[in-house]
């Protein structure tokens, strides 16, 4: 039996599960209607009619407990206020999109701590969203991921999934003056001499970059040195020979003989 507590809104909102989405409610209603029609049809034959009736009763119960309830205008006003308050508490504590995607050190612990501390509030927020939007077929109507922030508090330098960082110069007065000299502004056109100077500098930098070896170029692999196992078999590498010796009976015999001589 799902847990539900007395609620100031007058609605017994469950605390251990979420209400069904609009799509799930519609599918369940179709199943109930289809089963009722089959049971009412005299030509229908069931090997276990009692089992079918029990299954229908369970579906009806799931529909009754899972469908979001109807509400009055006063209840909707109270729920709307609470929904905004809950989201204002939950959203700042959520790990950011980059933290969830790139998994820097501390991201897993941060996510587990967040879920443990906010589980009941998240379930209530989802239920309120589905009550307020009963009949809305938007699949993301109670999707908390839609509200996940972008500001990260964890260090991304050693993230499990690497990413790219971009440097954007601060909008200082010197930066704005240089930008206006090169590209002009709404009041002053660009200085042709400044533009030509920048183009020449860009061309020089491109030539310098072209002369450098590619950063991604890999050093050539060293050729493998053949190694012989104790039984006389030859392998391309020492690791291959050692792996063979561990499972070769001839190598084991040769090892025993060598140790006996020593």
pLDDT in tens, 156-177: 777 777 766 656 667 788 777 7
Question: 């509200």: which residue's tokens?
Answer: 147
Q: How far apart are the first and last CA of the chain?
A: 76
What tokens does 24 get?
């799930």
Angle of helix 238-247 relative to helix 249-261, nearest 10 degrees, comes to: 90
Q: Which of 157, 145, 162 minimizes the C-alpha distance to 106?
A: 157
What is residue 220's predicted lDDT score, i.e. its pLDDT?
Answer: 59
Give the confidence band of 192 by pLDDT, cuts at 50, 70, 90: confident
**Mean pLDDT computed over 76-96:** 95
Mention every residue, 6+ apart, whose C-beta is less than 8 A from residue 15: 3, 4, 5, 120, 123, 124
Of the candidates 94, 138, 144, 110, the one whose C-alpha atom is nearest the C-alpha of residue 124 is 144
Using only C-alpha atoms, the chain has a radius of gyration, in whole angstroms, of: 35
Segment 40-61 mean pLDDT: 89
pLDDT at 197 over 70: yes
Q: How long, in residues, is the chain?
A: 262
pLDDT category at 20 given cuts 50, 70, 90 is very high
Residue 184 confidence (pLDDT): 72
The model's confidence at residue 140, banded by pLDDT at 50, 70 and 90, is very high
pLDDT of residue 178: 74
Mean predicted lDDT score pLDDT of the chain: 82
Q: Are strands 234-235 and 227-228 parallel, antiparallel or unpaired?
A: antiparallel
Q: What is the mean pLDDT of residues 80-92?
A: 96
What is the H or E stretch that residue 36 is in? helix 22-40
What does the block give as tokens for 244?
């063979």
Selected residue with higher pLDDT from 128 and 161: 128
**Confidence check: pLDDT of 119 > 70:** yes
C-alpha closest to that of 95 among 112, 120, 72: 112
Tell me if 17 sits within 8 A of 2, measured CB to CB.
yes
Q: pLDDT tens digits, residue range 212-239?
A: 665 455 555 656 667 677 777 777 766 6
By percentage, how much of the chain surpasses pLDDT 90? 42
């Amino acid at each position: 039996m799902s847990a539900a507590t007395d609620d100031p809104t007058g609605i017994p909102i469950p605390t251990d599960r979420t209400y069904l989405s609009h799509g799930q409610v519609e599918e369940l209603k179709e199943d109930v209607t289809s089963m009722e029609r089959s049971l009412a049809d005299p030509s229908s034959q069931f090997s276990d009619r009692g089992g079918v009736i029990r299954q229908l009763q369970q579906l009806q119960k799931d529909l009754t407990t899972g469908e979001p309830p109807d509400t009055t205008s006063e209840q909707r006003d109270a729920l709307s206020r609470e929904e905004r308050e809950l989201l204002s508490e939950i959203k700042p504590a959520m790990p950011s999109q980059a933290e969830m995607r790139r998994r820097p050190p501390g991201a897993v612990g941060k996510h587990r701590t967040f879920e443990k501390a906010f589980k009941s509030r998240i379930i209530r927020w989802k239920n309120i969203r589905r009550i307020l939007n009963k009949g809305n077929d938007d699949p993301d109507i109670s999707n908390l991921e839609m509200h996940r922030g972008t500001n990260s508090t964890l260090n991304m330098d050693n993230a499990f999934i690497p990413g790219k960082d971009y440097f954007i110069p601060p909008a200082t007065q010197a930066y704005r003056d240089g930008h206006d000299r090169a590209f002009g502004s709404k009041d002053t056109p660009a200085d042709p001499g400044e533009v030509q100077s920048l183009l020449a500098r860009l061309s020089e930098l491109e030539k310098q970059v072209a002369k450098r070896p590619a950063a991604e170029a890999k050093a050539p692999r060293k050729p493998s040195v053949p190694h012989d196992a104790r039984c006389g078999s030859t392998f391309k590498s020492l690791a291959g020979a050692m792996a063979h010796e561990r499972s070769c009976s001839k190598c084991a015999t040769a090892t025993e003989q060598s140790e006996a001589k020593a």
